[in-house]
Amino acid sequence: MNLLARSWIADSLEGLGRIALLAKEAVGSLFRWKVAWSDLIYQIYFMGVKSQSVILITGAFTGMVLGAQTYFQFHKVRMDTATLAVVSVSMCSELGPVLTGLMVAGRVGAAIAAEIGTMRVTEQIDALRTLATHPVDYLVVPRLLAAHIVLPLLTVEAICLGIGAAYVVGVFLLGIDATYSWYNMLKYTDVADVAVGIIKAFIYGGLVALIGCYKGLHCGEGAEGVGRATTESVVASSISILIANFFLTMLLNELLGGV
């Protein structure tokens, strides 16, 4: 193994260790109720309300294209009325939380890294320390807690909108029988599918906020450092969501498969 590969592995492991320590410190502050409540409310507004347009468009058109493509394949074997059931299960357990997490990572994760990174470059974080304010309590905890609250709610919204959009496309554009389509959806969509999606969204919210805060707190100097931290935040959050999705799917289906 050459020197460059060893250096990359060492830097990656060091970064994971720092993120783990940041998560431990944030959780400790949260359990001690060291939360800036006004900042928490603003972060919920910023992450949730201001992400509505992105989530609405993503959920609606994902459900529409998934419903249409499923119908085109199922129509060949005369299984048209199972289309909405496939869309429902897919949106609840996979596409809903994953796409919502990716959209929020692109919008919110980048904003978190840029905001905190700018504060670090302009020495505002050092100023917080001189005022006896812990940066983790003031900057990280509100964003982390807000992401945990907002992501499941946005995911539920995307799921409902995606299923509704698929129903409209299937029934009104493709001519699928509405009654049997709705019956099959309710029959084959379990509580476990919804639970899996919500649990995934909760975890993805923590990943997005934690990685964004970490990249901002450890960004380089100057505008170039802030830009690099913003880009790395989006890339790392997106990759983390995709990797975590596989392991969570295997684990949660094993644990909740009997629900």
* Residue 153 clears pLDDT 90, i.e. is over it: yes
**What span, in angstroms and rounded, lies between the C-alpha atoms of 149 and 51?**
14
**Where residue 203 falls among pLDDT bands split at 50, 70, 90?**
very high
Q: What is the pLDDT of residue 222?
A: 79
**What span, in angstroms and rounded, lies between the C-alpha atoms of 149 and 89?**
23
Q: What is the pLDDT of residue 2?
A: 66
* Residue 259 clears pLDDT 60, i.e. is over it: no
Query: What is the mean predicted confidence (pLDDT) over 181-197?
Result: 91
With 0.85 as the threshold, say if the pTM is over it.
yes
pLDDT exceeding 70 applies to what percent of the chain? Answer: 96
| Mean pLDDT value across the chain | 89
Distances (CA, A) of 53 to 50, 56, 58, 83, 191: 7, 5, 8, 26, 27
Q: What is the pLDDT of residue 3?
A: 66
**Hey, where are the domains in the chain?**
34-256
